[in-house]
Structure 1
Amino acid sequence: MEISLAAQQQQKLQLTPQMRQSMEILHMSALELNEYIKQQAVDNPFIELQPAKETPLSHYAGGAQPDWWQNVDLSGDATLESVLLEQLACMKLDRTALSLCSWIIGNLDDKGYLLHSKEELSAMKGIPLAQVCDAVSLIQSLEPYGVGASTLAECLVLQLRQQQESSLLVYSLVQHDLVSIGQGKLKQLADKYETELADIKAAITVISTLNPKPGALYSREKPQYIMPDLALRQLEGKYEVILERSSLPTITLNHSYLSMLEQNPSKDVHRYLTGHWQAAKGLTDSIERRKATLLRTAGVMFEMQAEFCRNGILHIRPMTMKQVAEALRIHESTVSRAISHKYIRTPWGLYELKYFFASSIHHADGSMVSAIYMKERIRALIAAEKRESPLSDQRIVALLAGEGLLISRRTVTKYREQMNIMSSAWRKRSLK
């Protein structure tokens, strides 16, 4: 056996504190960044705050090269996403499976549920449904148990499987009778399962120990009010994205302290002033990067959503973060962080940027329409229904099919529930 030494060159990106700060500031909402800047101003004598000024959208040059940090895929700390990704990293997954699982994890809501059905995820990613199902099953095996579910029942069943002690009665109640439990129909459930009322109550006690929102443990506290970063305005016949005037305070640097460095101060004073000067410059640079990335990202988004700009919500077109990332030549995760917790004021109302990345539905003519459009059509059909004979979800499917809109009953049910619209049975019962 021969042992030899060989030198090998390897390129590796090391994240400096300044790089990490840039990533963290990009992810912050306007409200969070506002508070962060104020705290930095208290701690740093070089930082002085001035009222914010409105900034027009800079023209995006398609050939411009992005900064290094826009292509860094950096996970935050103590979030549901980071907890799940950390577990994935311990598994022996190939690059394709790891990438798909990471992308699906990014499509979980704050409660840990899938934002889209497996079929929609398959269509959005352009990969076989079986591959998506395998990735979702893998995610569902991670802790906290119950994440990656599409419905409350599925979330609870995933947790029951981990306990391995629950009876068939508990499983059946979770899968078929959560509504009846919520309505307090315990006697009817006892008759249905031909068992004692005490058994039903004992099963419900087991169910009550489960967590209906497994991802909520890692959810960030939501701000009490919204401070939009951006505004969509019509200027000289065309729509442009600009920074909101009151979004962020403007930082100015106090040069009087800088002049003290030229007076040969002691080592301690020199170290103190140099450190705070560099911190102040780093903060302003990170904020400028955030502004530039946010404006460029939103600029491309609303170029793609030109019909929305002119005509409103029903004209939102299908759009993915991947499309925006490719147009900007940056990492998809940078788009995700740039739009996270960011809001824009438009002529049609106030919207979170993430709202515009809706899944798409096939039209009979082969074109695609956004899920937002489908929800509005469902809402309109229900609003126009006869109150004494409300439309069932299957009837809504048939009516939409008549318009050339192809959608499953399950998806109609999901969209209806997301809009907090009760079932046809409930709507009919409310008349009594």
Structure 2
Amino acid sequence: MRMGIGLNLEQTQKLIITPELRQAITILQLSTQELMDYLEQELMENPVLEMKEEVEEKEVKETSLEEENEQFDVNWQEYFSDGSDLGYIRSPREHRSEEVTFEQFVSEATSLHEHLYLQLNLSLPPGQQRRIGNFLIGSIDDNGYLRTSIEEAAACLKCSPAEVEEALKLVQSFDPPGVGARNLAECLLQQLSQLKADSPLVVAIVQSHLEDLAAGRITRIAKALDISPVEVQDIGDLIRTLDPKPGRQFGGNQDARYIVPDAVIEKVAGKYVVLINEQSGPRLGINPVYRSLVRREMPCDDHTIKFIEGKLNSALWVIRSIEQRRLTLYRVVSSIVDFQMDFLEKGIKHLKPLNLRQVADTLEMHESTVSRAIANKYVQTPQGVYELKFFFASGVERRSGTAIASDSIKKMLQEFIQCEDPGEPLTDQALTDLLNGQGIRISRRTVAKYRDEMDIPPATRRKRF
């Protein structure tokens, strides 16, 4: 075969994701809080964008523009002559005049270490013991456990282990009970000691049989200590009232994470209405200075006009993407309302199985679009606040041919277990028979899986003597 160099011309089709499309996809899958952070970043990077808090009362007057000035990718002169808000439908916000009091401002909560330092300063004068106490408190983690040994502390402070032990006993007497312990058993024993409930049997179970107690091996503990299972069970109930992590009650305000629902479902005049949460996010507009520059109302060179043109195109895509996100989210939530009407009326037991394909086929969009629309988003319903992914639940089939969601089955299992006889708890097979009696085809293994997902112990551990 003869080899040579040639030039061929052929046509191919490729799917290219443009930066604008990538931006629209990113905005679609952002939650309300993430969208606010994203828009704040855009406001910092794009000088054309600005945040508008109030609704403009006067619209921009129409102006006649010459054709020779229309040299942009988007006809901005004609665009600005329209009084619309670049994709946003202006609606007046509610302004509530509420009195502001000092009680509405919550100061930062006291941390565990600040609480312990305060007690140490009140208990000891300045000196060697306070210095050791400060070191030990600094070595306590957020759960209240000491994460250093006596020997390491003595070596760092260049003092004797007896002095460290003495300071540790003082720290362990502070509030909250159990703080400064080196392991779980020591933590529980400290709390029992302050409750005056550290009897020899309780101490023996805490020191030697905690694992058996957690696993529900009551008879083994009773045989080892030569006592009745009822006594072991009573001691177990006492131990379960103690706090295994005494420091977690001092979590700061930064640990709190509040959910802002992206949509609200309300029942109005017998019908369910979907409202998209737009009050928490900023409303975007175009800076009036750049409006004037684009309209040629102010003198400006061609290089500056070109720069503004690029920023205007970017701002337009951001506003369009936000509006498209709002419309897509509204359509998806409205479709969920149509599918899960029984859940909204009667509760979680009437939740139906649903998948992305069903919603995508109804809305005539791709499954990936539905998946992005429900990602990291929450909805407020008459039954409570739920993640949108909650409504896309798997299920099992009834004998009648209809399907029931897995969350509905979990709710039924929870009700069966709450009504059971503590002396004869229902086994997984008994729960399976109850569900089969209601026409739900389900195996014992699936029942055990659902029970484990709800953190419900098996029948052997739920039994009461």
SS of structure 1 residue aligned to 2:399: coil
* 1:383 Cα offset (Å): 0.9
Q: Which residue of structure 1 lines up, in the alignment, with residue 267 of structure 2?
A: 234
Structure of greater relative contact order (alpha carbons < 8 Å, 6+ residues apart): 1
Match for 2:413: what amino acid?
I
Match for 2:39: what amino acid?
I
From 386, 392, 395, the equivalent of 1:351 is 386
Q: Distance in 1 between matches of 2:271 and 2:372?
A: 27
Q: Which residue of structure 2 lines up, in the alignment, with residue 417 of structure 1?
A: 452
Match for 2:375: what amino acid?
S
Q: Distance in 2 between matches of 1:51 and 1:371?
A: 44
Match for 1:47: what amino acid?
L
C-alpha contact (below 8 Å) 1:52/1:249 kept by paired residues: no
SS of structure 2 residue aligned to 1:296: helix
Instruction: Provide, for residues 180-231 of structure 1, a one-character-per-residue CA deviation record: whole Å limited to 9, x for no partner.
Output: 8x9699xx9xxxxxxxxxxxxxxxxxxxxxxxxxxxxxxxxx9922111101
* 1:20 Cα offset (Å): 0.1
Q: Which residue of structure 2 lines up, in the alignment, with residue 163 of structure 1?
A: none
Q: Distance in 2 between matches of 1:227 and 1:320?
A: 24
Alignment RMSD, CA only?
A: 2.9
Q: Which residue of structure 2 lines up, in the alignment, with residue 49 of structure 1?
A: 51
Q: Which residue of structure 2 lines up, in the alignment, with residue 251 of structure 1?
A: 284
* 1:365 Cα offset (Å): 1.7
Q: Which residue of structure 2 lines up, in the alignment, with residue 340 of structure 1?
A: 375
C-alpha contact (below 8 Å) 2:216/2:460 kept by paired residues: no
* 1:264 Cα offset (Å): 4.8
C-alpha contact (below 8 Å) 1:229/1:243 kept by paired residues: yes
C-alpha contact (below 8 Å) 1:231/1:243 kept by paired residues: yes
Q: Which residue of structure 2 lines up, in the alignment, with residue 32 of structure 1?
A: 34
Q: Distance in 2 between matches of 1:52 and 1:426?
A: 61
From 290, 307, 316, the equivalent of 2:351 is 316
Q: Distance in 2 between matches of 1:247 and 1:371?
A: 34
Q: Closer, same or farther in 2 for the Cα pair 1:239/1:359, shift >3 Å?
A: same
C-alpha contact (below 8 Å) 1:31/1:223 kept by paired residues: no
SS of structure 1 residue aligned to 2:360: helix
SS of structure 2 residue aligned to 1:239: strand
Q: TM-score, normalised by structure 1?
A: 0.57
Aligned length: 270
* 1:300 Cα offset (Å): 1.2
Q: Distance in 2 between matches of 1:49 and 1:423?
A: 56
Work out whether 1:269 is the aligned partner of 2:304. yes
SS of structure 2 residue aligned to 1:379: helix
Match for 2:270: what amino acid?
G
C-alpha contact (below 8 Å) 1:52/1:247 kept by paired residues: no
Match for 2:312: what amino acid?
W
SS of structure 1 residue aligned to 2:421: coil
* 1:265 Cα offset (Å): 2.2
Q: Superposed, which structure 2 residues align to 1:263-412 within 5 Å? A: 263-412=298-447
Q: Closer, same or farther in 2 for the Cα pair 1:333/1:394, shift >3 Å?
A: same
Unaligned runs of 5+ in 2: 56-210, 221-254
Q: Distance in 2 between matches of 1:254 and 1:415?
A: 56
* 1:364 Cα offset (Å): 1.6
Match for 2:25: what amino acid?
M
C-alpha contact (below 8 Å) 1:233/1:240 kept by paired residues: yes
* 1:287 Cα offset (Å): 0.5
* 1:256 Cα offset (Å): 2.4
Q: Distance in 2 between matches of 1:287 and 1:353?
A: 19
Q: Closer, same or farther in 2 for the Cα pair 1:402/1:41, shift >3 Å?
A: same
Q: Closer, same or farther in 2 for the Cα pair 1:6/1:275, shift >3 Å?
A: closer
**Fraction of identical pairs, as percent:** 37
Q: Superposed, which structure 2 residues align to 1:75-224 within 5 Å? A: 224=257
Q: Rg larger in 1 or in 2?
A: 2
SS of structure 1 residue aligned to 2:457: coil
* 1:33 Cα offset (Å): 0.6
* 1:29 Cα offset (Å): 1.1
Q: Distance in 2 between matches of 1:328 and 1:266?
A: 48
C-alpha contact (below 8 Å) 2:396/2:440 kept by paired residues: yes
Q: TM-score, normalised by structure 2?
A: 0.53
Q: Closer, same or farther in 2 for the Cα pair 1:184/1:244, shift >3 Å?
A: same
* 1:340 Cα offset (Å): 0.6
Q: Closer, same or farther in 2 for the Cα pair 1:52/1:350, shift >3 Å?
A: farther
Q: Distance in 1 between matches of 2:273 and 2:362?
A: 18
Q: Distance in 1 between matches of 2:392 and 2:424?
A: 35
Q: Distance in 1 between matches of 2:8 and 2:440?
A: 63
Match for 1:32: what amino acid?
E
SS of structure 1 residue aligned to 2:305: helix
* 1:27 Cα offset (Å): 1.0
* 1:21 Cα offset (Å): 0.3
* 1:51 Cα offset (Å): 4.9
Q: Distance in 2 between matches of 1:384 and 1:246?
A: 44
Q: Closer, same or farther in 2 for the Cα pair 1:422/1:332, shift >3 Å?
A: same
Q: Distance in 2 between matches of 1:414 and 1:255?
A: 61
Q: Distance in 1 between matches of 2:423 and 2:386?
A: 35
C-alpha contact (below 8 Å) 1:18/1:282 kept by paired residues: yes
C-alpha contact (below 8 Å) 2:216/2:461 kept by paired residues: no
C-alpha contact (below 8 Å) 2:396/2:403 kept by paired residues: yes
Instruction: Provide, for residues 35-59 of structure 1, a one-character-per-residue CA deviation record: whole Å limited to 9, x for no partner.
Output: 1112222332222224599xxxxxx
Q: Which residue of structure 2 lines up, in the alignment, with residue 170 of structure 1?
A: none
SS of structure 2 residue aligned to 1:420: coil
SS of structure 1 residue aligned to 2:404: strand
C-alpha contact (below 8 Å) 1:28/1:341 kept by paired residues: yes
Q: Which residue of structure 2 lines up, in the alignment, with residue 10 of structure 1?
A: 12
Q: Distance in 2 between matches of 1:233 and 1:334?
A: 25
Unaligned runs of 5+ in 1: 54-178, 189-221
